[in-house]
Amino acid sequence: MEKLKIAIQKSGRLFDKSIELLKDSGIRLQNGSGKLLSVAEDFPLDILFLRDDDIPEYISDGVADAGIVGENVVIEKGYNLNLMERLGFAKCRLSIAIPKNNDYPGTDFLNGKKIATSYPNILRKYLEDKGISAEVHEISGSVEIAPGIGLADAILDIVSTGSTLVSNGLKEVDVAIYSEAVLVANNNLELRKKILLEKLLFRFRAVQKSRNNKYILLNAPNDRLPDIVKVIPGMKSPTIMPLAENGWSSVHSVLSENQFWDVIDQLKELGAQGILVIPIEKMII
Ligand code: PRT
Ligand code: ZN
């Protein structure tokens, strides 16, 4: 039977979350990680473990059908791949940073300067878009030390918390791109593989939805129910069941993580009591 081949990072910042996403999607790997290839037990799927930089090329060549990799790497490599889904982890940005004591009047600062980066293509595109003429100096690692040792006037590098910049005496002055882990696929998959990939994507989405939502149960006096229902509309509409105590009901609904604390405050003001919030394992809507 035709199998799907998915490439993931062998080790590094994407590895744990990629494995977790597969596991939560019901995919168990037979011979564990640390190998070049692992076979899924209950889905027609092989996992290839690669360096993240190689993943776009392997997908483009058809060695892998799809893969999980940082969008920054996908953009830098420039292959024409199908971006299937943003996966919500390994979030970061590729930013321009300069020595913290330099004034920064705007992108003009970069004119005629030397900028170090491991992302020359993204940097060239950024400079072109801004109409800046600068020297692109490609280095493969430790970009953040380049200004300090006199190798460059500025850098374009990955920033997440910003602490690496601070500890190297740099300040972030502009963002070239935002990035997160993405599922990308070859553009010319045969139909059977496309169907398998859609199945996998359906599972990924159910897992992601469940992570972004909570199940909420609460007790409320009946006369407050219309207002409470407005605050927690749920997937279709909340379930309401009478309590043994007269005049009270139990309300069950689904609540999105990013509005969580606001909604809880409103519910308390509306007279809700005994609020329970429970994680959801999978969510299919
Ligand atoms: O060995 P392999 O080539 O597979 O891995 P790698 O060393 O090239 O990549 P890895 O594992 O470090 O990162 C993989 C992907 O994670 C990147 O391509 C990004 O998409 C994403 N990501 C998210 C990050 C960061 N956050 C991050 N903070 N990648 C790198 N960093 C580094 C950055 O280079 C800088 O040195 O962390 C430092 C900045 O962090 P802050 O928190 O101090 O700002
Ligand atoms: Zn890499």
Residue 34: pLDDT above 80? no
Tens-digit pLDDT profile for residues 89-132: 999 999 999 999 999 999 999 999 999 999 999 999 999 999 99
Please name the residue whose Cα sits nearest to atom 23 of ligand 1.
90
Residues 6+ apart with CB under 8 A from 265: none
Q: What's the pLDDT band for 195 if we cut at 50, 70, 90? A: very high
Q: 213 near 239, Cβ under 8 Å?
A: no
Q: 62 near 189, Cβ under 8 Å?
A: no
Are β-strands 154-159 and 114-117 bridged in parallel, bridged antiparallel, or unpaired? parallel
Q: Which residues pair with 137 in a beta bridge?
A: 116
| Residue 143 Cα: closest atom of ligand 1 | 36
Residue 30: pLDDT above 90? no
Enter the tokens of residue 282.
Answer: 């999978």
Q: Which of 78, 82, 77 is CA-nearest to residue 67?
A: 82
Three-state secondary structure call for residue 247 = coil
State the maximum Cα–Cα separation within the chain, in Å, rounded to a whole number: 77
Percent of the residues in the chain that have a pLDDT greater than 90, as a whole number = 88
Q: Which alpha helices (DSSP H) does the chain contain, by range?
A: 15-24, 55-61, 71-77, 120-130, 163-167, 191-212, 225-231, 260-269
Residue to mutate, 53, 71, 160, ligand 1, most ligand atoms under 8 Å from C-beta: 160
Please name the residue whose Cα sits nearest to atom 30 of ligand 1.
158
Q: Which of 258, 179, 180 is CA-nearest to residue 212?
A: 258
Q: Which pLDDT score, from 0 to 100, does residue 31 have? A: 67
**Spacing, Cα 161 to ligand 2 middle (Å):** 19
**Spacing, Cα 166 to ligand 1 middle (Å):** 16
| Residue 90 Cα: closest atom of ligand 1 | 23
Tens-digit pLDDT profile for residues 201-235: 999 999 999 998 999 999 999 999 999 999 988 87
Q: 238 near 229, Cβ under 8 Å?
A: yes
- List pocket residues of ligand 1, CB cut-off 6 Å: 9, 12-14, 51-53, 70, 72-73, 90, 92, 157-164, 179
Per-chain residues with Cβ under 5 A from ion ligand 2:
52-53
Tens-digit pLDDT profile for residues 172-186: 999 999 999 999 999
Please provide the size of the chain in residues. 285
Q: What's the pLDDT band for 259 if we cut at 50, 70, 90? A: confident
Residues 6+ apart with CB under 8 A from 87: 17, 21, 68, 180, 181, 182, 183, 204, 208
Please name the residue whose Cα sits nearest to atom 17 of ligand 1.
70
Q: Which residues pair with 275 in a beta bridge?
A: none
d(CA 18, CA 30): 16
**Spacing, Cα 176 to ligand 2 middle (Å):** 19
Half-sphere exposure of 100 (CA within 13 A, CB side): 11
> What DSSP state is assigned to residue 29?
B
Please name the residue whose Cα sits nearest to atom 29 of ligand 1.
158
Q: Which of 56, 73, 130, 69 is CA-nearest to residue 96?
A: 130
Q: 207 near 24, Cβ under 8 Å?
A: yes
Tens-digit pLDDT profile for residues 146-155: 999 999 999 9
Q: Which pLDDT score, from 0 to 100, does residue 163 have? A: 98
d(CA 127, CA 111): 9
